[in-house]
């Protein structure tokens, strides 16, 4: 039997964290890690536009490797990650979501956008108490980032249309679990209404 989930109080200021919306995850013709994600990209485009209109902080993450020692055990477990070579087109953010000069793209080597990066310091400097976590993939890097967001004491929101996964069962199971324990999972329209 599942535990009842409580809805988090609304945060005062949110940051948008777009997790791994790079070509390596959005273009299945070029990468074994990618899935059909046009709808996810479009939902993120809508969110990005809203955050930009409001002048709210936006952060992108991408996975990129420049040497064999980086996240070697993670890459041993998931060898497809080896295609994400630093400097390759696969680690670039999808052009439909092109970051602006004031929107950092944090390079990471592991699943969470927090692990081994200065994301928490940047969020604190931006004066936020909540995050909106989006991107790819739900069962991997999105989940890890959302969990770490909570563990850094941010009120964490996940719009279900703005996340995706190569495995639809894993996608649904992880959204359910995240919603019970770690974040508020809601529709994109519900999130936009909450932010307004």
Q: Is 99 noted as a catalytic residue in this protein?
A: no
Rounded to an integer, what distance in angstroms lies between the CA atom of residue 150 and that of residue 28?
31
The backbone torsions φ and ψ at residue 42, rounded to the nearest 5 degrees and listed phi first, read -65, -45
Which spans in 67-187 are helix H?
Answer: 72-77, 119-125, 143-151, 168-181
Given 21, 141, 144, 195, the catalytic residue: 141
Cross-strand pairs, 157: 132, 184
Contact 64, 92 (CB under 8 A): no
- Which residues are the active-site residues? 141
């Amino acid at each position: 039997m599942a535990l009842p989930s409580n809805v988090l109080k609304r945060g005062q200021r949110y940051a948008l964290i777009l997790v791994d919306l790079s070509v390596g995850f959005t273009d299945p013709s070029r990468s074994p890690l990618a899935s059909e994600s046009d709808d996810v990209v479009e939902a993120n485009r809508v969110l990005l536009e809203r955050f930009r209109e409001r002048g709210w902080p936006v952060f992108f993450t991408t996975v990129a490797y420049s040497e064999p020692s980086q996240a070697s055990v993670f890459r041993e477990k998931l060898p497809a990650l080896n295609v994400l070579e630093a400097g390759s087109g696969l680690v670039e953010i999808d052009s439909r979501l092109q970051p602006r000069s004031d929107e950092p793209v944090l390079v990471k080597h592991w699943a969470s956008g927090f692990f081994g990066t200065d994301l928490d310091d940047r969020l604190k400097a931006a004066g936020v108490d909540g995050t909106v976590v989006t991107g790819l993939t739900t069962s991997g890097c999105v989940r890890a980032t959302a969990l770490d967001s909570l563990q850094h004491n941010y009120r964490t929101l996940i719009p279900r249309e703005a996340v995706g996964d190569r495995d639809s069962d894993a996608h649904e199971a992880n959204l359910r679990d995240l919603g019970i324990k770690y974040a508020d999972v809601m529709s994109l329209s519900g999130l936009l209404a909450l932010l307004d």
